[in-house]
Amino acid sequence: MYELVSPVSPAAVLKYIGYFLIAFSLVLIVPSMAAILLQDNYAAIIYGLTSVLTFAAGFAIYRLIPEYDLEVKDAVIISALVFPISAFISAFPMAVTNNMSYIDAFFESVSAVTTTGLSVAPADSSMVFLFARSWAQWIGGIGIIIIVVAVLIHPGTAAFRIYKTQYSQIKLFPNVLKTTRLLGTLYILLTLVAIILLLISGMSLFDSVCHALSSVSTGGFSTRSASIGAFDNPLILFSISLASFLGAVSFGLYIKSGRKPSRMLKSSELQWLVLICIIGFAVLLFTTIRSEGFDSNSEDILFLAISAVSTSGFSTVDVSIYSDASKWVISVLMWIGGSTGSTAGGIKILRLLVLAKLIKIVFMRVFLPVEVITPLKLDNDRIKKEEINNIVVFSVLYISILVFSAYVFMFYGVNSADSIFEVSSALGTVGLSAGVTGPDMPDVLKMVLCADMLLGRIEIIPLLILVMPRTWIKRRTDRVHTPDQQKECSGSCQQRRRCPSNLPQ
């Protein structure tokens, strides 16, 4: 089997990276236009120049490289490359316009495009910088891949395979372009609703736009260093909580419920999302009450529970003052995350439901005859064996990366509770911090968190495939036998094991 593994086509991957660069150049125009409105001409020039250079690079690749048939493996690599490249490009204007080192700007850019919200930026950041990173979170939430598919790529196999790498669980129409444009329209409508709610709540227009972009994308970047706590307004808390929760619900469920509203109430994933928020609030409230000298506020704790589960990462209080027991509760909520097909991160509720049912079947099999078939179903949909395998592998990798990253933090002297918390926040693309993340944090730890944020947003497997040598280099083996050679191959042939028996005649 392994002898038949073929590497990706670098030319095909590069061709579609060219498409992406053209699309991303359009994304960079928006901060440039915002800078003009905010009367920051220097930032407008820097972002505009970055956009022009990005477009030129993408157009040159598009013109020089011929069209290629895109294989599934190529599409997976493209989806893994999009976010690191986006962060690499966005870091340049961020560094120049906000007087940051490139490493800090890259960290901020990774945090933005992965919709995380962890920050090492100075407290006196410019308004253009604050808007640019909220805008990057909004783009990262819907998925830059969606923009490429919806705007630049013609309908066909390539568009379908690229779309499938990001939204395989949302199957609304046979036409991928129609599906992507419908998802984009829904995303824009949710954002407009969030802006209106925040304006009604008393926020300024600038703050409303930035927070709406960050909340619907479950990103968590705020225009204030104290996050939502700086506003001290219950209506704003409610609006942010609602927008974040709506962003954590599967977009496919919204559209399907538009045809049949009862589907919304019957969704196991949505029911568990609500239940986990309630349970998380109750347990977190209990741990804070048990903490001596801690003045617990039920509104703040409910907001924090929703923020952790939806992976939006907003806060109203300094999380570092919470007890280790409370930090562990928040960490578990960040591991769980929101729904599949949403902007939320984490392991995702659907995967955990499948794992729970798998455990139940393992115990049930003890009491059942061997010949009895026990299919795994969720909401009357049968989960295929391949999907179960992927979920188990993903979950094992998720925990392994979390443990390894936390150990690196502990090696640098961070206590275990804070290490687990910070890594959980990055890997779950949440953005809550126990006070560890900051400009003075060692560069090694910044890069660990960058890797965790990318792994969490891309969902681990594509990024690991990207760095595997076999992805790019063909393994040298003895020549595989042709059908005619198989007939001549004797039983004593030492290469018999390499002769595939199902080659076409």
Q: In the prediction, which pLDDT does 296 show?
A: 65
Going by pLDDT thresholds of 50, 70 and 90, the confidence category of residue 364 is confident
Res. 365: pLDDT tops 90 = no
Overall average pLDDT of the 210-220 stretch: 93
Q: Decide if 277 contacts 319 (C-beta within 8 A).
A: no
Q: Report which of 287, 286, 220 is spatially closest to residue 248, judged by C-alpha positions.
A: 220
Domain count along the chain: 1
Q: In the prediction, which pLDDT does 107 show?
A: 96
Going by pLDDT thresholds of 50, 70 and 90, the confidence category of residue 134 is very high
Overall average pLDDT of the 450-468 stretch: 89
378 phi, psi to nearest 5 deg: -140, 120
Overall average pLDDT of the 28-49 stretch: 94
Report if residue 48 sits inside a domain: yes
DSSP assignment letter at 377: E
Return the higher-pLDDT residue of 103 and 62.
103
Percentages (nearest 5) of helix, strand, coil residues in the chain: 70, 0, 30
- How many Cα atoms are found within 13 Å in the side-chain-facing hemisphere of 281? 17
Q: Side chain identity at 406, as an amino acid letter?
A: A
Overall average pLDDT of the 278-282 stretch: 94
Report if residue 316 sits inside a domain: no
Res. 363: pLDDT tops 80 = yes
Q: Decide if 144 contacts 24 (C-beta within 8 A).
A: yes
The tens digit of pLDDT for each residue in 295-322 reads: 668 888 999 999 999 999 999 988 888 8
Report if residue 164 sits inside a domain: yes
DSSP assignment letter at 478: P
Q: In the prediction, which pLDDT does 311 show?
A: 93
Three-state secondary-structure class, residue 86: helix
Q: In the prediction, which pLDDT does 293 show?
A: 57
Overall average pLDDT of the 7-13 stretch: 84
Compute the distance between CA of residue 198 and CA of residue 140 in angstroms, rounded to an integer: 22
451-478 burial string, b = 16+ CB within 10 Å, else e?
bbbbbbbbbbebbebbeeeebeeeeeee
Report if residue 139 sits inside a domain: yes
Res. 224: pLDDT tops 80 = yes
Going by pLDDT thresholds of 50, 70 and 90, the confidence category of residue 3 is very low
Report if residue 135 sits inside a domain: yes
Helix (H) or strand (E) holding 61: helix 41-64
Catalogue the long-range contacts made by 222-231 (C-beta closer than 8 Å, 24 or more residues apart).
222/314, 223/127, 223/130, 223/134, 225/123, 227/314, 227/315, 227/316, 228/303, 228/314, 228/315, 228/316, 229/300, 229/315, 229/316, 229/317, 231/202, 231/203
The tens digit of pLDDT for each residue in 109-126 reads: 999 999 999 999 988 889
Three-state secondary-structure class, residue 362: helix
Q: Note down the domain range covering 36.
A: 9-168
Going by pLDDT thresholds of 50, 70 and 90, the confidence category of residue 141 is confident
Q: Decide if 394 contacts 460 (C-beta within 8 A).
A: yes
Q: In the prediction, which pLDDT does 167 show?
A: 58
Return the higher-pLDDT residue of 69 and 356.
356
Weakest mean pLDDT among 13-22, 43-52, 198-207, 441-450: 13-22
Return the higher-pLDDT residue of 267 and 237.
237
The tens digit of pLDDT for each residue in 85-94 reads: 999 999 999 9
Report if residue 50 sits inside a domain: yes
Q: Output the six-digit token pair for 276.
A: 């986990």
Q: In the prediction, which pLDDT does 495 show?
A: 41
Overall average pLDDT of the 153-178 stretch: 58
Compute the distance between CA of residue 97 and CA of residue 128 in angstroms, rounded to an integer: 8
Count of CB atoms within 10 A of residue 381's CB?
8
Going by pLDDT thresholds of 50, 70 and 90, the confidence category of residue 501 is very low
Q: Side chain identity at 504, as an amino acid letter?
A: P
Count of CB atoms within 10 A of residue 151's CB?
15
Report if residue 353 sits inside a domain: no
Going by pLDDT thresholds of 50, 70 and 90, the confidence category of residue 498 is very low
> Helix 176-201 and helix 127-142: axis angle, to 10°?
140
Compute the distance between CA of residue 233 and CA of residue 229 in angstroms, rounded to an integer: 8
Going by pLDDT thresholds of 50, 70 and 90, the confidence category of residue 496 is very low
Q: Report which of 138, 62, 90, 64 is spatially closest to residue 343, judged by C-alpha positions.
A: 138
Alpha carbon 464 to chain centroid distance? 15
Give the percent of the chain with pLDDT over 70: 85
Going by pLDDT thresholds of 50, 70 and 90, the confidence category of residue 183 is confident
Q: Output the six-digit token pair for 189.
A: 């409508």
Compute the distance between CA of residue 359 and CA of residue 392 in angstroms, rounded to an integer: 11
Overall average pLDDT of the 31-52 stretch: 95
Q: Decide if 134 contacts 219 (C-beta within 8 A).
A: yes
Q: Decide if 198 contacts 239 (C-beta within 8 A).
A: yes
Partnered with residue 377 across adjacent β-strands are 382
Weakest mean pLDDT among 8-12, 368-372, 457-461: 368-372
Count of CB atoms within 10 A of residue 270's CB?
20
Q: Decide if 117 contacts 219 (C-beta within 8 A).
A: yes
Q: Decide if 16 contacts 79 (C-beta within 8 A).
A: no
Going by pLDDT thresholds of 50, 70 and 90, the confidence category of residue 156 is low
Mean pLDDT of the chain: 84
DSSP assignment letter at 343: S
Going by pLDDT thresholds of 50, 70 and 90, the confidence category of residue 492 is very low
Going by pLDDT thresholds of 50, 70 and 90, the confidence category of residue 163 is low
Partnered with residue 382 across adjacent β-strands are 377
The tens digit of pLDDT for each residue in 409-445 reads: 999 999 999 999 999 999 999 999 998 999 999 999 9
Report if residue 115 sits inside a domain: yes
35-61 burial string, b = 16+ CB within 10 Å, else e?
bbebebeebbbbbbebbeebbebbeeb
Q: In the prediction, which pLDDT does 473 show?
A: 81
Q: Output the six-digit token pair for 64.
A: 């020089």
